[in-house]
Structure 1
Amino acid sequence: MRITCPICGERDRREFYYQGDAVALRRPAPDAGGAAWDAYLHLRENPAGVVRDLWYHEAGCGAWLVVTRDTVSHAVLKVTLASDAEARA
Structure 2
Amino acid sequence: MSGPDAGATGPSHDVRRLERPEGAPRCPVPGDEQDAADLVRRKLRGMPTDLDRAKATRRLVDMLARRGYSASIAYAVVKAELAEADR
- The alignment's TM-score, normalised by the length of structure 2, stands at 0.22
Task: Indicate the structure with greater strand content.
Answer: 1
Task: Indicate the structure with greater helix content.
Answer: 2
The structure with the largest alpha-carbon Rg is 2
